[in-house]
Chains A and B, each alone.
Chain A
Amino acid sequence: MILLESLNLVKSFGGVAAIDRLSLTVEKGMILGIIGPNGSGKTTFFNLVTGIFTPDSGKVLFHGKDVTGFRPHRIAKLGIGRTFQVPAPFSKMTVLENVMVSTFIHARTMKMAKEQAKKILGLVRLEEKADQQVLNVTLEDRKRLELARALGTQPSLLLLDEVMAGLTPAEVKASIELIRSLRTKDLTIIVVEHIMDVILSLCDRLAVLDYGSKIAEDIPDRVVNNPEVIKAYLGEHYRARN
């Protein structure tokens, strides 16, 4: 069953297309990876799906329903949660309060919102930091908080934008475990990540963006051996590493 579908999305900034006729489908229950060089439009794609930007043309379908141009809060209510590439916490609130703002969406009382938020903090192993000011927590914890806050809206589709960038290898490993544990048949995930190990160990399918267009989509193993992909992205990437 198709959960999310984008049809010929186009979005340009000042004449330059950041997303160029992008069509993508996401099956329910899968983990889809999206990779691509810097500036290839991954974050912009998320912004289009979540209603932060309105596409110049093209459509976004969620559960088969046209949600193009919906405001973000409506998208959230329909069941799409996302994290921000640069953590965007509510700085002058505690960790728990941050998550509560998102659990309000379904909880009827403050007490229920708080309980749900605590449960989610337990899930991402942040319960000990619950009462700390966000200003005082580490980058890793902020990234976890991003995740927790996205989960707070009880999404059926979760968009993760480089949640592991900047973490140590050990932290990355823990995060992979965490995301794997989240995956259920009711939670579909799209992962944007530069770290190939993460992509390879998490994703069922992998799409590659370049200049806002999809240049390949397949199971991860086949994608990483696709010559075009290597040329556009991996080759450069690997060369840069060495």
Chain B
Amino acid sequence: MTFQTEGARINHTPVIRRFTLPGLLLLFFLSLLLLPLFLSPLWIRIATEVLMWAGLAQSWNVIGGYTGYLSFGHGAFFGVGAYATGILMVHLGWPFGIGLFFSGVLSAFLALLIGYPTLRLRGAYFAIATWAFGELLRQVATILDITGGAYGLQLPAFLNLPFFYYIMLGVTGLTYLTIYLLLERARFGYRLLAIREHEEAAEMVGVDTVSIKIQAFALSAFFPGIIGGINAYWVTYIHPDSVLRADITDFMVVMAFLGGIGSLWGPFLGAVVVQLVQRVLWLVWGEGTFYLVIIGAAICSVVLFIPNGLIGVLEGQIFKPKEAIKELKKKVKW
């Protein structure tokens, strides 16, 4: 497969263009492959978690950042994946891998159901509906027998840290690769961006906006479903207040926004920063609830001061080799 370097890019500054080169992407994930060899178990755990959040934030970014429709209940898909994998493994005895895949499909299917009536509309209806959906699922999981109600579900224990690290790496890598290929390199991505920038105009040039938005939403729900499944197997015990808690969505939003929405690397950067900051805060204050205030304040500040996120700030400041060379050429004229 060949890539045109000047093809469909969503970020236009040279910094990002360099980063989005598939070679670098590959190199990056390859180096992550070797990481566990050098890390203590604690740090492997942290790295796994960072990867998990990087995948989740990027998934949110597909609908929230690239398409411009805010899903305030995205954590629900994570929970659906966790419960689906759990139920399939515990009650039906399915193997983990198949359960995982099925979890992704189920999440995507639920996204279709939620998206169909709400994505025909503009504006806030979608945000409202997804949020209500998240609230609903938490309640449903508490009521149902099959989910174990408020007590939750115990999965077969599998204590193998590197396994979870690698599978998380694989899935998150797949998330980024898929999004890179579909959103930064294919017409699908152009169309999403056109919808975000001017929905009416997009429709006027033949973009079936409703169908494209629904597809994007399904895509953005698929990966959290899988990641939720992995998480369930990893932590072995799930209940409504763990995998369906409201702040999972909050974290996805803050990571994507802090890093920079609508960019490939923004959510990754956001996930790393937020996770590390959170760890430090835990060390300092212990596990309180004050972190919520900080998340909220971070979201507000990003909107007020750096709407393009950290990536946007970096773009403004980092040395841009290509542009510098261009400038030089102009001046020197050889």
Residues of chain A whose beta carbon lies under 8 Å from any beta carbon of chain B: 50, 52, 71-73, 76-77, 81-82, 84, 88-94, 97, 100-102, 104-105, 110, 113, 133, 149-150, 152-153
Neighbouring A residues of B247 by C-beta, 8 Å: none
> Are A73 and B207 closer than 8 Å at their CB atoms?
yes
Q: List 12 A-B contacts (CB under 8 A).
A: A50-B204, A52-B200, A52-B203, A73-B203, A76-B205, A90-B193, A90-B201, A92-B196, A92-B262, A93-B190, A93-B194, A102-B205
Give the complex CA separation of A93 and B204 in angstroms: 17
Interface residues of B in 164-214 (CB under 8 A from A): 186-187, 190-191, 193-194, 196-198, 200-210
Known: A104-B190, A110-B7. A90 touches B206 (CB 8 A): no
Neighbouring A residues of B302 by C-beta, 8 Å: none
Min CB–CB distance A59 → chain B (angstroms): 21
Number of A-B pairs whose CB atoms are under 8 Å? 86
Query: Per a CB cutoff under 8 Å, which of A77, A92, A93, A94 touches B206?
Result: A77
> Are B190 and A101 closer than 8 Å at their CB atoms?
yes
Give the complex CA separation of A71 and B207 in angstroms: 10
Give the complex CA separation of A219 and B15 in angstroms: 57
Give the complex CA separation of A196 and B312 in angstroms: 47
Min CB–CB distance B60 → chain A (angstroms): 19
Min CB–CB distance B190 → chain A (angstroms): 5
Neighbouring B residues of A93 by C-beta, 8 Å: 190, 193-194, 197
Give the complex CA separation of A88 and B208 in angstroms: 17
At the interface, yes or no: B322 with Cβ under 8 Å from chain A?
Answer: no
> Are B187 and A90 closer than 8 Å at their CB atoms?
no
> Are B200 and A110 closer than 8 Å at their CB atoms?
no
Known: A100-B190, A104-B187, A133-B12. A92 touches B205 (CB 8 A): no
> Are A149 and B193 closer than 8 Å at their CB atoms?
no
Q: List 8 additional A-B contacts (Cβ < 8 Å) besides A89-B197, A89-B201, A90-B201.
A: A71-B210, A72-B203, A90-B194, A92-B196, A92-B262, A97-B190, A101-B190, A150-B204
At the interface, yes or no: B8 with Cβ under 8 Å from chain A?
Answer: yes
> Are A88 and B187 closer than 8 Å at their CB atoms?
no
Give the complex CA separation of A92 and B263 in angstroms: 12
Give the complex CA separation of A104 and B310 in angstroms: 33
Nearest CB in chain B to that of A92: its residue: B197
Neighbouring A residues of B206 by C-beta, 8 Å: 73, 76-77, 102, 104-105, 153
> Are B187 and A110 closer than 8 Å at their CB atoms?
yes
Min CB–CB distance B312 → chain A (angstroms): 12
> Are B200 and A72 closer than 8 Å at their CB atoms?
yes
Query: Per a CB cutoff under 8 Å, which of A71, A92, A133 touches B193?
Result: A92
Min CB–CB distance B308 → chain A (angstroms): 10
Give the complex CA separation of A64 and B114 in angstroms: 38
Neighbouring A residues of B4 by C-beta, 8 Å: 110
Neighbouring A residues of B202 by C-beta, 8 Å: 90, 101
Most buried by B among A89, A90, A150: A90
Give the complex CA separation of A91 and B186 in angstroms: 19
Neighbouring A residues of B198 by C-beta, 8 Å: 88-91
Give the complex CA separation of A133 and B193 in angstroms: 14
Query: Per a CB cutoff under 8 Å, which of B8, B186, B204 touches A97?
Result: B8
Min CB–CB distance B210 → chain A (angstroms): 8
Known: A90-B193, A101-B190, A110-B186. A73 touches B201 (CB 8 A): no
> Are B190 and A73 closer than 8 Å at their CB atoms?
no
Sorted nearest first, the 4 A-B pairs with minimum C-beta distance are: A102-B205, A105-B206, A90-B197, A76-B206
Min CB–CB distance A48 → chain B (angstroms): 13
Known: A88-B198, A92-B193, A113-B187. A152 touches B205 (CB 8 A): yes
Give the complex CA separation of A113 and B206 in angstroms: 14
Neighbouring A residues of B187 by C-beta, 8 Å: 100-101, 104, 110, 113
> Are B208 and A73 closer than 8 Å at their CB atoms?
yes
> Are B204 and A72 closer than 8 Å at their CB atoms?
yes
Give the complex CA separation of A97 and B192 in angstroms: 12
> Are B207 and A101 closer than 8 Å at their CB atoms?
yes
Neighbouring A residues of B10 by C-beta, 8 Å: 92
Neighbouring A residues of B203 by C-beta, 8 Å: 52, 71-73, 76
Query: Per a CB cutoff under 8 Å, which of A71, A81, A101, A113 touches B194?
Result: A101
Neighbouring A residues of B200 by C-beta, 8 Å: 52, 72, 84, 88
Nearest CB in chain A to that of B186: its residue: A110
Neighbouring B residues of A101 by C-beta, 8 Å: 187, 190-191, 194, 202, 205, 207
- Give a binary string over B247-265; 1 marks a CB under 8 Å from any A CB, 0 the rest: 0000000000000001000
Interface residues of B in 3-30 (CB under 8 A from A): 4, 7-8, 10, 12
Nearest CB in chain A to that of B195: its residue: A90
Neighbouring A residues of B190 by C-beta, 8 Å: 93, 97, 100-101, 104
Give the complex CA separation of A89 and B199 in angstroms: 10
> Are B201 and A149 closer than 8 Å at their CB atoms?
yes
Min CB–CB distance A77 → chain B (angstroms): 5
Nearest CB in chain B to that of A93: its residue: B193
> Are A153 and B194 closer than 8 Å at their CB atoms?
no
Known: A110-B7, A110-B186, A133-B12. A76 touches B194 (CB 8 A): no
